[in-house]
Structure 1
Amino acid sequence: MPVRRTARTLISLALAAALAAPAGLIATPAQADAGFQRWVQSFKATAVKSGISGRTFDRAFRSVNAIDPEVLEKAAYQPEFTAPVWDYFDNRINDNSIMVGRQMARQWKPWLDRIEKAYGVDRNILLAIWSMESNYGEILKNDKVMRSVVRSLATLAYADKRRSKFGSQQLLAALKILESGDIDESHLSGSWAGAMGHTQFIPTSYLAYAVDADGNGKRDIWNSVPDALATAANLLRKNGWQSGQTWGYEVTLPAGRKFPGGSLSLAKWESLGVTRASGKSFPRGNQNAELKVLDGRAGPAFLMTKNFFVIKRYNNADKYALAVGLLADQIAGYGPLVQDWNRPFTRLTFEETQELQQRLTMNGYYDGKIDGKIGSGSREAIKAFQAKRGLNADGHPSKEVLTTLRSN
């Protein structure tokens, strides 16, 4: 039986295919202009057969005269740096993401009350998804990230041979969104791969799950936070979210013992010596769970219940689903992990990470955004500074590097 593919899974598969494409399969902008215009006209016939009016199509493509070369660059780019597990979580679960999440919980409480009641999905899970997907809507203000969904998907459909099917399917879905009147073409913006709005839905997922929560007649995940959060809740509910239950538990593993794969009851795990890291007992011994260890036996371990796998319907990656769960717990007021990740350095706070970036900028090593997130630019700047000072150039955003910068 085939596995259902989520929005992010489709994007990931398409990206993998693009990266595997032989040279010459992606058209250059110079080759694209005339051919692109011919393709647009031929695609119009396909769209009309799919129920899109000619008027809607013409409006959608009114300002789309050529492909977007930056979309092709992003589709073909494969980062050389493979982030260790702690790097992924540090950039997503930090003082700032927790603090803003709690602020948003207060600000949107009346709506979160309604959405939680209607869909049975924990509000803190929705807030964590909002943080993970768009930094609580902040990326929607970034013109370098947001671009025309119609142009992006048309570029993929026409110019990226390995991604043509994905681009065409999503473009037809985007045109159906325009046909519905939920958003107009000038505001139909998204990422290079067509992910849209506060909660980053690709067009086909939008058509399947979008909700008009605020009752204004439009399913507007770009401008309406209630619509966006309810849409995320609708996706989770329709994929089997179990109301009132957790995503999983941090656990402690007995030394030297091997464990079976697959799902066992929590009572069975407990009989094998697996206990909650908090010292509390499991509230539902008959509930099934699967063991996940993302950072080796010396790192934190988790027993994942049904809701963890429902979160993976949003993004089919263990790290993503775990980050959502852990961030949701901390927004809710629970403490951090009992067993931290295996970092080879002392972690900085969010404010200290910003200070690190500021000091690297002042010393001429970094020219990126002071955002408290360590990406490839920050790591390369740290490496350059470490090399200049005769330190081990590992690129880690450590307390030791910040201390050295302060004394510089």
Structure 2
Amino acid sequence: MTYARVWVLAAAFALGAGADAVVAQTTPDQVEAGSDAGLDLWIAEFRARALEAGIKADVFDAAFAGVSYDENVIRRDRNQSEFTKTIWEYLETAASDLRIANGKKALESQRAALEKIEAQYGVDKEVIVAIWGLESAYGTFRGRDSAIRSLASLAYDGRRQAFFEAELMDALRILQAGDTSPAQMTGSWAGAMGHTQFMPSSFQLYAVDFTGDSRRDIWGDDPRDALASTAAYLKHFGWTLGQPWGVEVTLPDGFDYLLANREILKAPEEWAALGVVGVSGKAVPNHGPASILLPGGAEGAAFMIFSNFEVIERYNTADAYVIGVGHLSDRIAGSKPIAQGWPVQDRALTFDERIELQTRLTALGFDTVKIDAKIGPLTINAVRDFQVAQGLLPDGYASPRFLDSVRAAR
């Protein structure tokens, strides 16, 4: 530990020494950016704001005792967008035979609690188990990173400072409420915690004490509080018990791919009248208004998705994640694998390619609204509009082949 760090910590936490005194004597240009000393200066400033927000001094000081700058967290945050998989590659892991088998075992091990949670919150137990499985492999990989250290490093780094400062403040409120201790408050490198990887803000809003011990414990070996908290979260955002997230369907020859749009909702019987039916050949039961999703384009599997799809999106907005949770939950309940194939000759676009795609489409007059490397509904709409203009099949699928078409356009 450097002399500068010892001095900053001593000044920050000594009785009567506030952040203003620290900043007055040690300024950012005197310490190296991305260093323990720099983090300590930031902590001294943040401490004043936390105490003003109602965090007790002893709670703050106990939480930050020994906290240091985590370079690994910063590296992973900056590089995470480079990690991409196609939907079929993702599903190979998300709904692998092992994860399905372990999910069935996990459901049986917690069946009594899960049935009570399902009855109390109106959320299907298999979906809760599937989220548990994807987030922490049914509690076996809950994460060992200190949430305080991770969030402090990310807030100090500044790329998303306001977001991580708010999460860090909520983490301190959790500690102040006595739900856990700083040593037990562990999770992923990004600050997501426990069996089902709640961020502190989500914990504050939706976590529940299911076991009745006056603590909302999502970190310990007993997963029941975490499972009930996940149900409470999904219920808050409108989960409908018994409604599927989606159903695999087959499309008729000559299907109008412009209809495969999240904004176009039809009852299943209306879709059936257009030739869109389940893989069994029968009309999909009426679970409410639905849209058609083609995550692998016209050459991949097609799904009729219902409002519960959007509820899972509140946990993670990526279509692959939502389909992963949904399909895993179906398999745990005994359903069959996805019947249709995928365009396995394709690879996923890299981060830079997605940025390029959005930039080029927007420049050509097909506005993606955001240049963020996320192939969400807005970008899919722009892809489809370009396809229509170019006389291509308008399936909204952003593949490497499609990027080549955009590069060649004038």
- TM-score, normalized by length of structure 1? 0.73
Residue 305 of structure 1: CA displacement? 0.5
CA contact (8 A) 2:299 2:341 kept: no
Alignment partners' CA distance in 2, 1:230 and 1:270: 37
Alignment partners' CA distance in 1, 2:135 and 2:192: 10
CA contact (8 A) 1:170 1:203 kept: yes
- Aligned-residue Cα RMSD (Å) equals 2.0
Instruction: Choose the corresponding residue for 1:153, options 144, 151, 154.
Output: 151
Alignment partners' CA distance in 2, 1:29 and 1:188: 28
Instruction: Choose the corresponding residue for 1:216, options 199, 213, 217.
Output: 213
Alignment partners' CA distance in 2, 1:154 and 1:243: 39
Aligned ranges for residues 215-364 of structure 1 at < 5 Å? Answer: 215-223=212-220, 224-259=222-257, 260=259, 261=261, 262-284=264-286, 287-343=288-344
Aligned ranges for residues 130-169 of structure 1 at < 5 Å? Answer: 130-140=132-142, 145-158=143-156, 160-169=157-166
Change (3 A) 1:79 1:305: closer
Alignment partners' CA distance in 1, 2:278 and 2:80: 38
1:49 aligns with 2:55: no
SS across alignment from 1:179: helix
Which is further off, 216-225 or 81-90? Answer: 81-90
Q: Determine which structure has more spread, i.e. the larger CA radius of gyration.
A: 2
| Structure 2 unmatched ranges of 5 or more | 1-27, 347-410
Alignment partners' CA distance in 1, 2:144 and 2:128: 22
The superposition leaves residues 198-241 of structure 1 with CA deviations (integer Å, 9 ceiling, x where unpaired) of: 00011001101101111111101111311111111001100001
- Runs (4+) of structure 1 moved beyond 2 Å? 27-36, 78-82, 278-283, 340-345
Change (3 A) 1:109 1:31: closer
Alignment partners' CA distance in 2, 1:244 and 1:157: 40
Residue 82 of structure 1: CA displacement? 3.2
Alignment partners' CA distance in 1, 2:34 and 2:215: 39
CA contact (8 A) 1:278 1:338 kept: no
Give the residue type in structure 2 aligned to 1:200.
Answer: Q
SS across alignment from 1:197: coil
Give the residue type in structure 2 aligned to 1:267.
Answer: E
Change (3 A) 1:329 1:179: same
CA contact (8 A) 1:174 1:203 kept: yes
Alignment partners' CA distance in 2, 1:181 and 1:79: 35
Change (3 A) 1:185 1:298: same
Alignment partners' CA distance in 1, 2:335 and 2:91: 16
- The aligned length equals 313
Alignment partners' CA distance in 2, 1:33 and 1:89: 40
The superposition leaves residues 165-191 of structure 1 with CA deviations (integer Å, 9 ceiling, x where unpaired) of: 112111100000000000001111111
The superposition leaves residues 248-284 of structure 1 with CA deviations (integer Å, 9 ceiling, x where unpaired) of: 2110001222142321121211111101112333221
CA contact (8 A) 1:29 1:69 kept: no
Change (3 A) 1:251 1:29: farther
SS across alignment from 2:54: coil
Give the residue type in structure 2 aligned to 1:251.
Answer: V
Alignment partners' CA distance in 2, 1:29 and 1:111: 51
CA contact (8 A) 2:268 2:283 kept: no
The superposition leaves residues 29-79 of structure 1 with CA deviations (integer Å, 9 ceiling, x where unpaired) of: 775222322221221111111111001001101121x21111111111156
SS across alignment from 2:169: helix
Instruction: Choose the corresponding residue for 2:176, options 179, 199, 202.
Output: 179
- Give the percent of matched residue pairs that are identical in Structure 1 and Structure 2: 42
Partner of 1:120: 122
1:59 aligns with 2:59: no
Partner of 1:366: none
Residue 137 of structure 1: CA displacement? 1.3
Instruction: Choose the corresponding residue for 1:100, options 85, 102, 114.
Output: 102
| Structure 1 unmatched ranges of 5 or more | 1-24, 346-408
Change (3 A) 1:255 1:29: farther
Partner of 1:368: none
Change (3 A) 1:85 1:31: closer
Q: Which has the higher contact order (CA 8 A, sep 6+)?
A: 1
Alignment partners' CA distance in 1, 2:249 and 2:139: 33
Alignment partners' CA distance in 1, 2:199 and 2:249: 35
Alignment partners' CA distance in 1, 2:322 and 2:71: 32
Alignment partners' CA distance in 2, 1:85 and 1:41: 44
- TM-score, normalized by length of structure 2? 0.73
Give the residue type in structure 2 aligned to 1:225.
Answer: P
Alignment partners' CA distance in 1, 2:83 and 2:64: 37
SS across alignment from 1:110: helix
Alignment partners' CA distance in 2, 1:111 and 1:342: 41
